[in-house]
Structure formats: C-alpha cells, structure tokens
C-alpha cells in the first residue's frame, strides 16, 4: 500500500500539496518504515519531500504532511543572514544540515524547557508559543538504514521534536499556549522580539 501511495505521489508535479489540519492522516500514529520501498522510490520520495519543504518554505516536513502515514521526515535549517544576531542567540538558532529521519524518537535531556513562537506548514497562517525541552537525544535511522543517535539543543532540537511529533499524530497546537495563538502578520507586527516575554504578559499566559 505504501509503495502504491508513493508511486502516486511521484507521478505528481513538484512541489507536492501539503496536507492541512483537519485531515485524519495528521492525527494517527504513522506506521514504522520497514523497507517497503525500492531504492529508487525511496530516493524519489526523499527528493520530493526536500523540494516541497524548500518551496513551502519550511525547515522540516513529515511524511503525513504529504499524505503518507509512515515514520519518515526530512529536516534542514540553513544559515539565516537576514535574522538579527540577538534573535539567533536567544532562540539557539544554528545550521541544521539536511537529513532524513526514519522511525525517530526523542527523549529530553535535563529539565530545562524553553518557549518560543512556532508554526507548522500544516496549520497555515498561524503561530503559537510552545514550551519544549531545550536539549534532546534523537534515536532514529537514516535513509540507508544506519543508526542515528545524536543530541540536539536549541532550535535544531525544536525542529527535531516538531517533526517527530508529527509521526505520532501530534500537532504543535497540542503542546501550545493557546492564548498565544496569532496570525503570521500579528507575530511579525507585535511579537518579533527575540523571546515571547512581551506576548506572555500582554496575551495572558505563563512561560517556563
């Protein structure tokens, strides 16, 4: 079945449509990937996900976001020359080279949590503040089947958590301070500070 779904996707032009909130595929636990695809089909899927992620634009894309209920995601966050240094520092933003996450899971390292506005390509037009562990350990496989066991901190850790959550049927809104829910325009105009301290005070929610 997965192979058929992927064949249908590969026959479509890129970038592929991104599934939006309300579609059940975003709310079910995705099945583990167990090598159901040929080498060519897997390579085509990964390339298509990369193109779709870049076109959105985004820093991660999970297979359910293109309609595939399987535990596979891609992540990448390039350097951001137009982002103020104080924002990069406050949010722990740093380069995250392109990688494929197969059957990933993460565990928090330490008790420290940090909260920032977060968005999602499947919840188009909105952002909300989400508190997440500052540091995590990621265990997964890559596209070759090789084991991945790495630690991430700051914004890369947030990306890894966000995309892995997708594979369990969890959207960032499930973890968000809903009083912070804001349109992209509101975030840009009102809440572009390095941290959401002002937003918490004025919108009435707590930060960790």
> Is there a binding annotation on residue 120?
yes
Report how far Cα 94 is from the mean position of its chain's Cα atoms.
15
The residue from 150, 151, 163, 177 that is catalytic is 163
* Strand residues in the chain grouped as ranges (E): 60-62, 72-77, 96-108, 113-119, 126-133, 135-141, 147-153, 176-183
pLDDT score, position 206: 97
Q: What is the pLDDT of residues 138-155, one digit of tens each?
A: 999 999 999 999 999 999
- Domain extent listing, the chain: 2-203
Q: What is the pLDDT of residues 100-146, one digit of tens each?
A: 999 999 999 999 999 999 999 999 999 999 999 999 999 999 999 99
> Is there a binding annotation on residue 40?
no
Instruction: Please state, for a pLDDT cut of 90, what percent of the chain lies above it.
Output: 97
Class of the 2-203 domain?
Answer: alpha beta
Retrieve residue 34's tokens: 């167990």
Q: Is 79 helix (H, G, I), strand (E, B) or coil?
A: coil
Place of tokens 């991104």: 18
Residue of 170, 104, 166 whose CA lies nearest to 137: 104
Reply yes or no on whether the pLDDT at 5 is more than 90.
Answer: yes
Total residue count of the chain as it appears in this document: 208
Q: What is the pLDDT of residues 67-101, one digit of tens each?
A: 999 999 999 998 788 899 999 999 999 999 999 99
> Is there a binding annotation on residue 14?
no
Residue 163 is among the residues annotated as catalytic for this protein:
yes
- Whole-structure pTM value: 0.96
């Amino acid at each position: 079945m997965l192979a058929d779904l992927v064949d249908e996707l590969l026959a479509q032009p890129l970038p592929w449509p991104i599934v939006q909130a309300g579609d059940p595929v975003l709310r079910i636990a995705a099945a583990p990937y167990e090598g159901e695809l040929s080498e060519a089909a897997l390579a085509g899927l990964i390339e298509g996900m990369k193109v779709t992620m870049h076109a959105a634009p985004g820093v991660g894309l999970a297979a359910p976001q293109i309609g595939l209920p399987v535990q596979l995601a891609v992540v990448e966050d390039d350097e951001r020359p137009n982002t103020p240094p104080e924002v990069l520092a406050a949010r722990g933003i740093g380069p995250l080279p392109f990688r494929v996450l197969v059957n990933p899971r993460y565990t928090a390292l330490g008790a420290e949590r940090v909260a920032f506005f977060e968005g999602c390509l499947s919840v188009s037009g909105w952002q909300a503040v989400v508190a997440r562990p500052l540091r995590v350990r990621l265990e997964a496989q890559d596209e070759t089947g090789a084991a991945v066991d790495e630690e991430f901190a700051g914004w890369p850790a947030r990306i890894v958590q966000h995309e892995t959550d997708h594979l369990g049927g969890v959207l960032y809104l499930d973890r968000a301070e809903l009083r912070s829910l804001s349109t992209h325009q509101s975030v840009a105009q009102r809440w572009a500070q390095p941290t959401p301290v002002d937003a918490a005070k004025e919108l009435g929610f707590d930060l960790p």
